[in-house]
Structure 1
Amino acid sequence: MDIPPFTVTLKNPDIPVRIRQYPISLEGRMRLKPEIDRLVSKGLLESCMSPFNTPILPVKKPDGTYRLVHDLREISKRTVARFPVVANPYTLLSNLGPNNCWYSVIDLKDAFWACPLAESSRDYFAFEWEDPETHRRQQLRWTVLPQGFTESPNLFGQALEQILQDYKTRPGVTLVQYVDDLLLAGEREDDVRKESIKLLNFLGLKGLKVSKAKLQFVEEEVKYLGHYLSKGEKRIDPERVKGILALPPPKNKRQIRQLLGLVGYCRQWIENYSSKVKFFYQKLSQEGLMKWTREDEESLKRIQQDLIQAPVLSLPDFKRPFYLFINTDNGTAYGVLTQDWAGKKKPVGYLSKLLDPVSKGWPTCLQAVVACALLTEEAHKITFNSKLKVLSPHNIRGILQQKADKWITDSRLLKYEGILLDSPKLTLEMTGLQNPAQFLYGEPDEKELAHNCMTTIEEQTKIRPDLEEEELETGERLFVDGSSRVIEGKRVSGYAIIGGPELEVIESGPLNKTWSAQACELYAVLRALERLKDKEGTIYTDSKYAFGVVHTFGKIWEERGLMNSQGKDLIHQELIKRVLIALRKPKKIAVVHLRGHQRGIDLEVEETMQQIRRPRKPL
């Protein structure tokens, strides 16, 4: 191609990569000789004396000939990689319309060798070669982008994309490019035929060659990027599924990564993919030797069965609205993106994402908010922000507007509102449906399955059903605070409780100087709760942390065994345990959170909180 030569940048280029050549049998060298002689004669290889050296090896092809493979892994590790701008195969086919009936697939042959390599970068790609006839040893290096180099697909893909900017397809025909694989799609056979001939001639003029053996010329069904495409639909290549089924159970982490890569390419066909492959990632995170168990084998068989029964997916039609059903399960957001065709919902793709560790600890209904935001963003990659109706068994809009601010930080809340509430092309709807199968094939009695999210959140988070957030009309009023600060060069920690008719300090004391301010504030709440045993009363605190333990996180932490979402012990675990026990002792109890200088609160309450916040000398 008539393009500027590519330059490759290595980390520590002054320290050359020097790997001796593997032993190659005489037969292997004899088989490689014609190929190497051909590459030298065409100027793709040239003699050199380079400080770098990496090995080559002969690989037998299905037709009996041999292919030259250059092991460039160490060079790739040292390369300063450019940002990859290769198209995402996960969403690439969204560009195809549902009405295309005819296709051509063009596979460029030795495409990387059409890209020149800068003189200053050629020494990095040198290898040793011994001629089997003359026994002459020499170094050869590539003058073009070599195959097997990590940057070659990205660099070639960008170069070809620039060339194709000058190419214009006729109306009704779409051109799709993925590295060196080109696809033409159209509604009329004659248009696709003429466009295919035109494109082949264009590529020839640019110095690119086409693999005749892999050319799929004007066909109603073609294989492209591991998928079979036909009118408005795509399905998994059966050979890809057979390859996955034929793999033996993985024995090490490298084989698990290989299996994950193969299965992950098919994730759009697998319902709740992220949950089903979670056990793979658990294996990868384990230390020491990997052990493959019977349970792992059963989990793998379920994934294999999903691939065998994989549905046919519809290609998106941007003239029609999209429907996205979403739910959560075991820390995973999952759903299905569909469109209506002839009164039936047809799947466009199954979507799933793992929830982050923080949101995994939230009530189920709040997890659904995160799930909707995550999968809506995933759906936009396919729908290109077309009209979208998001359906969930949860009242997403109501949660965001009424309950979310207690759990979700301002930055998160702003993000979720931007995705789910502020888009004019997106609507939210609550449904009694519980899973993608129900959504696709039938609707249950929604009255039986629908639930009240606000009530459910309260039930999942309250230690006791009568726990209040606002002041009780009866009972004692206790104002509490705790602090840990440096006074006169020494760190001191303590707490105080104000109460009684005269609102005086009725209890105070020093605490361990290693305690944080949060621990001191929580201890103050604990002592107030213990004072209210078998009584009625209201506790005021300006600690958002202590208020959250009492009203928001405490019950979930208790049910989880006082561990966080990563399975580790909570900070202040014993103190939290005592608070949760003490919360159940009063006859009636309210714990109220007061922000500094909060409007609309009793002046006496404000003055009392100001009094309790004043710095105190060590007790």
Structure 2
Amino acid sequence: MDCMKGFQQNGVEPNSMKFLRIICHMGICEYTRMPFGIKNALAHFQRMMDTIFQDEILEGWNGSFFNDINIYSETQEDHVQYIDRVLSKCTPINLEISLKKCNFGQQELLALGHKVSGLSLEIDQNKVAEVPRNIKEMQSFLGFASYYKNYIKNFSHITSSLYKSCSKDVVFEINKERRDAYERIKHELTNAPVLILPDFELPFKLYIDAACSQGLGAALHQRQIVDGEPREGVIYDISRQLKDSEESYAATHTECLCLVRALEKLHYYLEGAVFEV
């Protein structure tokens, strides 16, 4: 569900209107509704949405991201009931919903660059970029690819040469090594594994990889029953490049560093859970 006109549904406190004055051909005007572009507008709007739907969020079936209201349910009956509850919260405060931007009863949806279903996460393939032609485009591509790095094993190792191409002390050039790295990342993005959602009643498996000299890698897996058969799926992949001071570590120390890094990054999955390394 999408809130119509976003920020402008939020009124401005009278004592603050003077800070939002603009001068135009009609004279001096003041905003009475919150405009776009104000520094704290996003945080204020998100806080407003969290306050309105705090009960629904705590019950675990509502998640609002700015002007998008996401409702998730296990049955059609629950779905209708939840929609009715959300609308009953919107009506008294005149929070308007854009009907043409709403999608009801969906098995999956696109959210924040991901295809989300009740069981898994996938990359939105419409986001895959073209070959970078300069530093700015390379930085943009790396920023885009980094958003999906938890789908890609050894992401930091693969992209190390691409990051070096953006350094200030080198001339930007797409050589064979960098083109191969780009093509591999693009291949991984278009063929990325479907990430499964964790079941905290089952044990996890943590795989670590410190064999390469350029980076650390780890993957969190879990064996779940899918369509009546046990299958092991990926929940999260992490990686990072080795710092200069870490490249001289002995193999055992590098593996320990990799394990510590994985436990720090994945603590919200593993803390209090049973897992095997």
Same fold (TM over 0.5): yes
Which of 78, 81, 88 is 1:201 aligned to? 88
- Within 1, Cα distance between the matches of 2:142 and 2:18? 36
Counterpart of 1:335 in structure 2 is 218
Return the letter of the residue paired with 2:275: K
The sequence identity of aligned pairs, in percent, is: 21
Letter in 1 for 2:4: K
- 1:157 Cα deviation after fit: 1.1
Q: How does 1:448-527 map to 2 (within 5 A)?
A: none
Structure 1: how far apart are the matches of 2:202 and 2:160? 34
Residue 122 of structure 1: how far off its partner (Å): 4.8
* Partner Cα separation in structure 2 for residue 355 and residue 278 of structure 1: 10
Residue 389 (str. 1) matches residue 275 (str. 2): yes
Which of these residues, 134, 155, 169, is aligned with residue 273 of structure 1? 155
Structure 2 residue 38 is matched with structure 1 residue 153: no
CA–CA separation in structure 2 for the residues paired with 1:313 and 1:111: 31
Q: Which has the higher contact order (CA 8 A, sep 6+)?
A: 2
Structure 1 CA distance for aligned equivalents of residues 276 and 201 of structure 2: 17
Give the secondary structure class of the aligned counterpart of 1:368: helix
Quick check: 1:190 aligned with 2:77?
Answer: yes
User: Residue type matched to 2:51 in 1?
Assistant: Q
Query: What pairs up with 1:287-436 in 2 under 5 angstroms?
Result: 287=169, 290-328=172-210, 329-342=212-225, 343-381=230-268, 383=269, 385-391=271-277
SS at match of 1:187: coil
Match of 2:139 in 1: 257
Deviation, structure 1 residue 298: 2.2
Q: Distance in 2 between matches of 1:355 and 1:122?
A: 51
Shift of 1:275: 1.9
Partner of 1:223: 110
- What is the one-letter code of the residue matched to 1:336? A
Whether the 8 Å contact between 2:216 and 2:241 is mirrored in structure 1 is yes
SS across alignment from 1:191: helix
Question: Looking at CA atoms only, which structure, 1 or 2, has the larger radius of gyration?
Answer: 1
Residues 357 and 180 of structure 1: CA distance in aligned 2, closer, same or farther (over 3 Å): farther
Report the aligned-residue RMSD: 2.7
Determine if contact 2:263/2:270 at 8 Å carries over to the other structure.
Answer: no
Write the distance in 1 (CA, Å) between the matches of 2:170 and 2:30.
41
1:348 CA displacement: 0.9
Letter matched to residue 361 of structure 1: S
Instruction: List per-residue Cα deviations over 1:44-74 (Å, max 9, x = no partner).
Output: xxxxxxxxxxxxxxxxxxxxxxxxxxxxxxx
Q: Detail structure 1 runs of 4+ shifted over 6 Å in the superposition.
A: none
Gaps of 5+ in 1: 1-105, 130-135, 392-619
Residue type of the partner of 2:6?
A: A
Establish whether residue 111 from structure 1 lines up as the match of residue 111 from structure 2: no
Kept after mapping to 2: 8 A contact 1:321/1:387: yes
State the aligned residue count.
272
Contact 1:326 1:390 (C-alpha < 8 Å) held by counterparts: no
What is the correspondence of 1:500-579 to structure 2 with a 5 Å cutoff? none
Q: Partners in 1 of 2:109 and 2:270 — Cα distance?
A: 25
Structure 1 residue 330, shift from structure 2 partner: 2.6
Task: Write the deviation string for residues 66-95 of structure 1: whole angstroms up to 9, x where unpaired.
Answer: xxxxxxxxxxxxxxxxxxxxxxxxxxxxxx
CA contact (8 A) 1:252 1:289 kept: no
Cα offsets for 1:503-527 (capped at 9, x unmatched)? xxxxxxxxxxxxxxxxxxxxxxxxx
363-372 or 351-360: bigger deviation = 351-360
Q: CA deviation at 1:289?
A: 5.5
Q: Which letter does structure 1 place at the counterpart of 2:46? A: G
Instruction: Give CA deviations for 1:92-148 in whole Å, capped at 9, x if unaligned.
Output: xxxxxxxxxxxxxx222222223334556556655565xxxxxx4655453443324
Q: 1:15-26 to 2 correspondence within 5 Å?
A: none
Offset at residue 321 of structure 1 (A): 1.4
Aligned CA distance change for structure 1 residues 157 and 169 (closer, same or farther; 3 Å): closer
For 2:199 and 2:246, the matched residues in 1 are separated by 34
The Cα of 1:332 is off from its aligned counterpart by 1.6
Secondary structure at 2:99 match in 1: coil
Give the whole-Å Cα distance in 2 for the aligned partners of 1:122 and 1:293: 55
Query: What residue number does 1:430 align with?
Result: none
Contact 1:169/1:195, CA 8 A, preserved across alignment: no
Report the CA distance shift for 1:179/1:294 in structure 2 as closer, same or farther (over 3 A): same
Distance 1:334 1:145 in 2: 45
* AA in 2 matched with 1:337: L
Structure 2 counterpart of 1:264, one-letter code: S
252 and 127 in structure 1: CA distance in 2 versus 1, 3 angstrom threshold:
farther
Tell me if the contact between 2:45 and 2:66 (Cα under 8 Å) persists in the aligned partners. Answer: yes
Amino acid at match of 1:300: Y
CA offset at residue 387 of structure 1? 1.5
Q: C-alpha separation between the residues in 1 aligned to 2:237 and 2:92? A: 42
Question: Offset of 1:285 from its aligned partner?
Answer: 2.9
CA–CA distance in 2 between the matches of 1:191 and 1:199? 12
1:303 is displaced (CA, Å) by: 0.6
Q: Which amino acid aligns with 1:331?
A: Q
Mark the runs of 5 or more structure 2 residues left unpaired by the alignment: none
SS in 2 for 1:213: helix
Q: CA distance change for structure 1 residues 295 and 141 in 2, over 3 Å: closer, same or farther?
A: farther
Amino acid at match of 2:155: Y
Cα pair 1:109 1:209 within 8 Å, conserved = yes
